[in-house]
Chain A
């Protein structure tokens, strides 16, 4: 978690060199703490630098710029309108609700961050404006399934989490001067940061590169010519810490000759007095990793220790399958078309007709704008109507392992068709004491294979927990604008209660309650009875959740897919 002091430091860094650090991902709900942070940012940013907000509904015309229609018509020559991005040159662009950014908008921002220029090829104009800006992504996502697009987050050096900062702490801080009078030169800053990134499992090379920029910026802010050890360590904490995907091993680098003897958690050396440390690069590496580790959220650490897997898997673009729709949804620009088959976009129609006015004007005719059929523009809308099929797979001992193999097969077959069907697929497995999200909603075959290959089996049947998890995921899909379909593969023989205790009767009652809740959510469901001899238990659960019941004792992947396709 980020402390308020760190958050203020981050604000100063972002304000000092917006384009250099790329910007900040701010995870926090709307509230006084976030407002206080934004106020601190505004104060830190020189007053002649712009700080603009980008509403989520912004059109390309406003974002990138284009033809200024009223001015063009008035002046009788093309007049360009500057977009929001070019107007923010040298400053900061604040993006509220960044977790809902579409991949397209994220890619536009990423291109700006990469090139520092905005290229406009619109409305008969070709322009190139400087846009050396930083981006502040206000991430209001809850849980792991909602977050800002990875491609964009990767380009922003600083990530902070204000969720747990008490609002009492969020007071203006005058220039926090933890400036030591002297900070010994860190030597090979880049090499050290690369090694630290490696130890923390930061795959993208932008991590160490951005950390190096932050280290230099820290030094510059505190009046040093070259970054010292402390600057480097702080940069590692701020930039690499939030990107960490694994616990640093005891031996962070192959070059580090000094063996690591102590359990690092308790004996974290506070790197304030450099005299305590050997001035070797190995010890600097070690301290950097320690500093970065202290920035890891506690939950992440616990999860890492327990599971030993990458906690943050790459996420597919959230709205990747947004389907164009003729009349409803979010507007997505305009294209030539017949207004009888869509909604007329008046401004775009006028824009298309504007250049022709002088050519069409003939003497003696009444004045007025002449619009011909080929000028007509209809608004394109995007509506997220894609289906997300959630497979809740009983991976307990009773539903033998071959069921898992069949479920895997069905998921992969569905995925292969996902592109044309614009569907996404997610897989939950429940066994032992609870449910686990094996495959977050995705359309990417490569990821699906990776996720499925590790699907475990065995243990009790916590059917209630499985259904609850499926319902939660279905709600999250629904919130994102998608249509969830839950496919439960089970034999219905629940023997683990919601509380995690063994007991067939209570487990059965809990499963029925969970099934009823799922029905109350109005989610379309299918229950595939995988028992060798179908029994009433599974059928009763299917009835409780209003599911289509498919007894498939010998289901193979192909038959299962056919059944699901018929049902959805």
Chain B
């Protein structure tokens, strides 16, 4: 059931491009000319809190921007206290992302520039593909979602009313080339977690059921948020996230007052508040666009690669995933800062987020994993 982007996914209108409008949610086009149904009259939520108006939480914001610059870093996990604006930041990011080019009418928003990754519909399409610009999808996976809605299933309406067998893409299809956001990821049902891990690893979603046999691309950046007090995350899932950031409630009074004041101003007039920050949001969008363009030309010097390897060795992280993520995130950070080369400085700044969740548990080590990474950085990179 795909009607209107703004009612289904996280709010997606780019704040400065156009006023919130049902027609800008281009997702409706992905329903292959399916008419909007009258029983789901859009209920438009208020625009999300602007990303640029978030006070502090630099590590979280940086990690989200890195994932936006280079989706191959593999997702962001945000863990922290209640009321620290985890959901706010991710919803704010959605409104900020520069739009992408996609095949018009494709339910998976295929990238016309990458013919190898096209879905079966686009491959089979006779004649030239029509291309349009759409917002990057940021899809919310709500708790209580059933498996058929996540992977996609038989189109109910067409099956019941017309006796037609048609596939209706699920949330994974909609998240292709974008972000899949799971709030309270540690509370998600185990069987859904297994399913997500499988798809996230392969980039392909497979549905096999009674004559429906569909394989479609599902490459997305997994963004999870949660509260460690509610229970810890399975190590297998933890490892799938490229970056893990911890957020805490600010403790100094002026910052706290600033946070509360901004939130309050936003709540009393969301439109005006967003308009006031549209310029700052646009500046971040500009930085993102430039960083993406800059990224392919950035190479990682051998010295930096070697430093990354030494750091991972010192910390005893399992497998190569840590090293790879460390290298990629450092490169994305360098791209964001428009640096000429990826240096050890980039490595050391991003190391806690890239590695802290990959350390082997050492219950007898009193210091937290962040402290262990910081210590290792200081030792390995000592002049």
Contacts and interface: CB of A to CB of B under 8 A. Distances in A.
Interface of A: 60, 63-64, 66-67, 72, 76-78, 80, 103-104, 107-108, 110-111, 114-117, 119-130, 150-151, 154, 190-191, 193-195, 197-198, 203-206, 208-209, 212, 253-254, 314-317, 320-321, 324, 333, 335-336, 354-359, 361, 372, 374, 409, 412-413, 415-416, 419, 443-447, 449, 453, 557
B337 interface: no
Contact of A190 (B43, B140, B257, B366): B257
Given A203-B251, A320-B231, A374-B210, 10 more contacts: A66-B146, A121-B150, A122-B149, A203-B81, A203-B249, A205-B260, A208-B260, A212-B260, A324-B190, A419-B232
A69 B234 CA distance: 36
Given A206-B82, A316-B229, A335-B191, A125 B260 contact: no
Nearest to A317: B230
A145 to B, nearest CB: 15
Interface residues on B, range: 35 or more
B375 interface: no
A412 B363 contact: yes
B127 to A, nearest CB: 31
A71 to B, nearest CB: 11
A409 B235 CA distance: 22
The 7 A-B residue pairs with the shortest CB-CB distance, nearest first, are A358-B163, A412-B363, A121-B149, A320-B231, A121-B145, A126-B1, A355-B159
A112 to B, nearest CB: 10
B1 A117 contact: no
A527 B187 CA distance: 36
Contacts of A60: 144
Interface string B206-229: 000110000000000000000111
B296 interface: no
Nearest to B40: A127
B323 interface: no
Given A121-B171, A359-B165, A445-B361, A126 B143 contact: no
B82 A154 contact: yes
Given A212-B264, A354-B160, A204 B143 contact: no
Contacts of A193: 260
Contact of A209 (B1, B142, B162, B260): B260
B256 A124 contact: no
A449 B361 CA distance: 13
B230 A111 contact: no
B81 A151 contact: no
B54 interface: no
Contacts of B154: 124, 355-356
A128 B40 contact: yes
Contacts of B164: 359
Contacts of B363: 412-413, 415-416, 445
A198 B256 contact: yes
Given A122-B146, A126-B8, A76 B161 contact: yes
